Amino acid sequence: MAVDKKLHIVMFPWLAFGHMIPYLELSKLIAQKGHRVSFVSTPKNIDRLPTQLPPHLSPFLSFVKIPLPQLHTLPPDAEATSDLPYDKVQFLKEAFDALKQPLSDFLQTSDADWILYDFAPYWVGQEIGPNLRIKTAFFSIFILQSLAFVGPMSGDSRMKLEDFTVPPDWIPFPTTVAFRHFEIKKIFDFVAGNATGVTDIDRFKMSAHYSDLVVVRAFPEFEPEWIQLLEDIHHKTVLPVGQLPTSEYDLKEDNPTWQSIKEWLDKQAKGSVVYVAFGSEAKPNQHELTEIALGLEQSRFSFFWVLRTRLGLSDPEPIELPEGFEERTKGRGVVCTTWAPQLKILGHESVGGFLTHSGWSSVVEAIQSERALVLLSFVADQGIIARVLEEKKMGYCVPRSELDGSFTRDSVAESLKLVMVEEEGKVYRERIREMKDLFVNKERDEKLIDGFLSYLKKHRNNVDEQDH
């Protein structure tokens, strides 16, 4: 009977909204099954998450605030990657590593059965789990291809930039999955190191290596060979839990922000608007911003652009739209520099295409609403995601220079025209529609969550051996 006892699962995501949101979605799905979830993060992040829960879930999902240690290298208000320019994120990792003790203290009194942790706190699987006899699962919000590209704990001899621009030799089937020169150059500290003394690539490898289980944001029908490859690389069970699409947050129709956006969208023709957004931590530089803006203007499409002009108050390089741009595009385009409800905008029938940074959560949201994708990657594994989408004809990349990633207003305008209206781009519009039923399948996702939870029940520490 021990197996039927409800689980207590602790969630510990990295301090980026693209990580915290999928962790929160999985938490809700677990809570819906009557298991207890403790979602651990820092106070400011928890306050910024959509934590209003339906009454039937609140008894099962609690939010645990652990203050972030103050480092002199980190602005006092910064608790997430979106609060910082890219070069300061290494100090956020430093502060995050200092949560090891407070997290241990919480877990010691928590009666947790499992802790699901992200790529950054590899020490959860390495030390905390074994010391406290709590089972650990590395839950990766990264796509399977990015995880496979990172590779095994040993036998990876890649050191130079060029080594990362080709598929690694442990991928046994043909693929284009690799970084382009400008993509890996921008994030080469991933391999070369940062202020914490532990590289990101090593964090990934150790997180998988020391865990009792690897949990991935995926489903078997889309890429079965990649799930198998990950099992071969890490010699352990890899469990997919679905794509975890963002659930419609409870944004009432009379919400003033949404009202004014909706009024504008209602006036536009069906499928005529380009939605432009680059996520919470990707920011174009000034030259790129100018080319994107002038490309939008040149394309003659209506557009709704959610623009972040700076990453937190410590960002030394805020960016500005070209002079006269807003006047010249008045009525045809809207630039929004505050929060906007992306799911609702993508769901509006006037939106035809999405110019995106290729962040996976945004891609899944676009597929949910069947919006054609034009891709412009900036950081992290967005380049790898762009390769996968291109390979599957699910998105079109704006042509760029291989070495520095530069692109022109002409290539932005032409890419938008191709994907939005031209015959040649029809394949991208149709492919996204075909993918919707595969990506949005409640019945299958329900089964994946059930399988995942029954594995956790069966393999928790306090279960009798015969239940294994």
Where residue 241 sits, what CATH number does that domain have? 3.40.50.2000
Do 110 and 199 lie in a common domain? Answer: yes
Does 266 reside within a domain?
A: yes
Do 435 and 446 lie in a common domain? Answer: no
State the number of CA atoms in the 13 A half-sphere of 468 facing the CB.
Answer: 7
What average pLDDT does this structure show over 113-132? 98
Does 250 reside within a domain?
A: no
What average pLDDT does this structure show over 126-147? 97
Does 400 reside within a domain?
A: yes
Percent over 70 (pLDDT), the chain: 96
In the chain, the number of structural domains is 2
Does 156 reside within a domain?
A: yes
Print the domain residue range for 362.
256-439
Please choose, from the candidates 413, 411, 410, 429, the residue with its C-alpha nearest in 3D space to the C-alpha of residue 300. 413
Q: How far apart (Å, rounded) are the C-alpha atoms in residues 77 and 7?
A: 35
Does 304 reside within a domain?
A: yes
Say what the pLDDT of residue 246 is. Answer: 82
Do 318 and 457 lie in a common domain? Answer: no
Do 120 and 264 lie in a common domain? Answer: no
Confidence of residue 1 (pLDDT cuts 50, 70, 90): very low
pLDDT at residue 463 above 50? no
Q: How far apart (Å, rounded) are the C-alpha atoms in residues 398 and 377?
A: 9
Say what the pLDDT of residue 467 is. Answer: 37
Say what the pLDDT of residue 254 is. Answer: 67
Q: Per the structure block, which two tokens stand in for 327?
A: 């006047």
- In DSSP terms, which residues pair with 61 in a beta bridge? 37
Say what the pLDDT of residue 344 is. Answer: 92
Strand order in the sheet with 372-375: 333-336, 302-306, 273-277, 351-356, 372-375, 396-397
pLDDT at residue 115 above 60? yes
Say which DSSP state 330 is in. Answer: B
Confidence of residue 2 (pLDDT cuts 50, 70, 90): very low
Largest CA-CA distance found in the chain, in angstroms, rounded: 72
Does 468 reside within a domain?
A: no
Do 405 and 292 lie in a common domain? Answer: yes
254-276 burial: b if 16+ Cβ within 10 Å, else e: eeeebeebbebbeebeeebbbbb
Do 237 and 355 lie in a common domain? Answer: no
Do 434 and 448 lie in a common domain? Answer: no
* Average pLDDT along the chain: 93
Give the tens place of pLDDT for each residue, 204-251.
Answer: 999 999 999 999 999 999 889 999 999 999 999 999 999 998 876 655
Do 220 and 261 lie in a common domain? Answer: no
The C-alpha angle 170, 176, 181, rounded to 5 degrees, equals: 95
Confidence of residue 4 (pLDDT cuts 50, 70, 90): low
Does 251 reside within a domain?
A: no
Give the tens place of pLDDT for each residue, 293-352.
Answer: 999 999 999 999 999 888 887 778 889 999 999 999 999 999 999 889 999 999 999 999
pTM equals 0.93
Does 452 reside within a domain?
A: yes
pLDDT at residue 146 above 70? yes
Confidence of residue 50 (pLDDT cuts 50, 70, 90): confident
pLDDT at residue 103 above 80? yes
Do 308 and 452 lie in a common domain? Answer: no
Q: Per the structure block, which two tokens stand in for 461?
A: 């520490």
The total of other beta-carbon atoms located within 10 Å of residue 166's CB is: 12
Give the tens place of pLDDT for each residue, 403-430.
Answer: 999 999 999 999 999 999 999 999 999 9
Do 224 and 283 lie in a common domain? Answer: no
What average pLDDT does this structure show over 397-402? 96
Do 432 and 446 lie in a common domain? Answer: no
State the number of CA atoms in the 13 A half-sphere of 362 facing the CB.
Answer: 32
Do 357 and 288 lie in a common domain? Answer: yes
